[in-house]
Structure 1
């Protein structure tokens, strides 16, 4: 890596430590794929509670015995929650907004869910366009555009379902979509390897433009090329999380 690139990276890191980073992550996938556990593990503390509610918030449960509403499908509920984190030993502050989508994939017909998620993503672009068009801007305005969407695929050991394909095809033009296999520890190493292979074959077959960690050998530095090539080769990522903390060799781990 050239000295100019090293200097630019150091300057960027120093700026991030001073100013902090704002990042917006959307998590999507059917119930039971491990979204909540992943978010709480990532943040190192309870952030999401049952049914996608913020941790500690009261959760309302629907009365399925009420004949007047028993036939209705609840649909997706888009719930952003922001947490403040420290990224590394240098104390880089990260203001992380998690956008959960509880209820997605639970209905027989998920057409409305596709529309709601797409509308939410587009609304963030509309909001920032409106803010930038104002003569006097709001200094406290927060850019809530979603940087990346982690899509949790069920650990079936097979390829993508029709629901997975449709969701990623629709949302990939609007946001960086990264497919992950939730609760990957429920698969054997051989099953996981086969599942990854089948999922990537489906992504290629259906031409789903997921985020594939792009790099340019001519333009990018050697480290960037190596890192992105390695990350691309690991897709889809296997996710394993736990909210239980245990002590191993004097260290607390999850």
Structure 2
């Protein structure tokens, strides 16, 4: 292969404006981001999503009164919203799933979630293979799964291990310890270490991944994130007053939990990870790894099916 010589233009040509041209087109079109939330009922899945995106996107299924039972999501529900921030338009799909692990028999309770994710891949593939396909295919493929872990302080439940393993095969899984303010800082750190050890022992491959395209800075960033997973978080849509300032937080008998205070919980790390450093990578990883694996299997199966079909007389 011939060597490529780098030549510097002797006068200004103008092709360096291509990044601005791309940015202009992308801003006009907007961005699509699809998140699915999974976990046991009552862990504050809806509340955390609303806290991350600073908007009331999905209704909380929690208690209205202290003596009222936790209301449940009974079927998979998708809520679509358009959020605009500094001229950037984000089309956000939030998919809420029924809480599982609540019943006596939880066998195959994860199947509807895995099926939903695969169905989105299948719908995208069908649109890709049509003769007159759309110029821009609406992307409903799930880019991220926030997996909620009960803050027991002990270890993962067997069902958590099974479900995360199943989900990690089809989607980018990001585990979070819900309602982390129910643990002391020492209990929280010990719990996180146990979970990380169990994830390694059970060979559960979680996002973020390192690829050949990653530079040294990206590799170090991913390593720092993996050392923090699972994120210990607290969600709240309510404002409380701390030192004369209004912040999002929760009051309890011991004081106030400031959601955005890094010494109280890791919500800020999770939000920065999802929106400021890895949003585009989550989208690209979905297309290049999870969807590509699904697409390859489907096309191979289709080809083999055609080859085995008997000839028409």
Larger RCO, structure (CA 8 Å, separation 6 or more): 1
Corresponding residue number in structure 2 for 1:241: 235
Q: How many residues align?
A: 226
Distance of 2:230 and 2:138 partners within structure 1: 31
| SS of residue matched to 1:28 | strand
Corresponding residue number in structure 2 for 1:70: none
Corresponding residue number in structure 2 for 1:214: 209
| SS of residue matched to 2:122 | helix
CA deviation map 1:202-223 (0-9, x unaligned): 1111111222x2235x753333
Distance of 2:73 and 2:54 partners within structure 1: 29
Instruction: Tell me how large the CA RMSD over aligned residues is.
Output: 2.8
| SS of residue matched to 2:27 | helix
Distance of 2:27 and 2:241 partners within structure 1: 31
Name the CA shift for 1:227/1:86 in 2 (closer, same or farther; >3 Å).
Answer: farther
How do 1:87-166 residues align onto structure 2 when only pairs under 5 Å count?
A: 87=85, 90-138=86-134, 141-166=137-162
Name the CA shift for 1:225/1:112 in 2 (closer, same or farther; >3 Å).
Answer: closer
Distance of 1:121 and 1:241 partners within structure 2: 25
Mapped contact 1:247–1:253 kept (Cα < 8 A): yes
Distance of 1:228 and 1:121 partners within structure 2: 25
Name the CA shift for 1:184/1:76 in 2 (closer, same or farther; >3 Å).
Answer: same
- Detail structure 1 runs of 4+ shifted over 6 Å in the superposition: 6-12
CA deviation map 1:63-83 (0-9, x unaligned): xxxxxxxxxxx9951111011
The runs of 5 or more residues in structure 2 that have no matched partner are 1-15, 63-69, 249-313
Corresponding residue number in structure 1 for 2:56: 46
Distance of 2:189 and 2:19 partners within structure 1: 35
CA deviation map 1:137-162 (0-9, x unaligned): 24575211101111000001122101
Mapped contact 1:75–1:112 kept (Cα < 8 A): no
The runs of 5 or more residues in structure 1 that have no matched partner are 1-5, 53-60, 63-73
For the pair shown, the structure with the greater C-alpha radius of gyration is: 2
| TM-score using structure 1 length | 0.78
Which of 27, 37, 49 is the equivalent residue of 1:27?
A: 37
